[in-house]
Amino acid sequence: MQTEARFCEVAVLEKAVEVRPAVGERVMRVEAGQQVRFDRLRLGKPWQSDASVASWRSGSLIAIQRPLGDLLDELSRYRHGWLRCDPAIADLKISGAFPLDDTDRALAALESGFGLRIVRRTAYWVSVQPA
């Protein structure tokens, strides 16, 4: 489950779950291979998950045309400290597989593969910027 400021997202890997917003009576059954976004009032329409949803189980973060800002938000969950993305490149579409057990290696791959610059103020304060 991914939690954002305004919504949650659930991806079901096995069997099924029932999702219910905090307010209201509506309940939705979400089957394996599907995901749905919801907030405290509304349920979205479920959609088919792609292969990247469960990639964390094998220690990878798979991105398929994912905005760099979103990718770094997800990657930051697997490292200590602060990982910032320059707003000028936050919408850059990224595709690739990135290791979750070595986020510095993932950042190095972004730097070399996508022409970005990784600025390390300390080991815990890292910024991704345009080259």
Tens-place pLDDT, residues 68-123 = 999 999 999 999 999 999 999 999 999 999 999 999 999 999 999 999 999 999 99
**pLDDT value at residue 4:** 47
- Look at residue 1 and tell me whether its pLDDT is greater than 80: no
- Domains, the chain, with CATH or none: 2-48 (no CATH), 59-130 (3.55.50.30)
Lowest mean pLDDT among 3-7, 57-61, 100-104: 3-7
Q: What percent of the chain has pLDDT over 90?
A: 75
Task: Give CA–CA dist 28/121, Å, rounded.
Answer: 46
**pLDDT value at residue 5:** 54
SS3 87: helix
- Strand spans (E) along 46-92: 47-48, 60-67, 82-85
- Look at residue 41 and tell me whether its pLDDT is greater than 60: yes
**pLDDT value at residue 53:** 76
pTM: 0.69
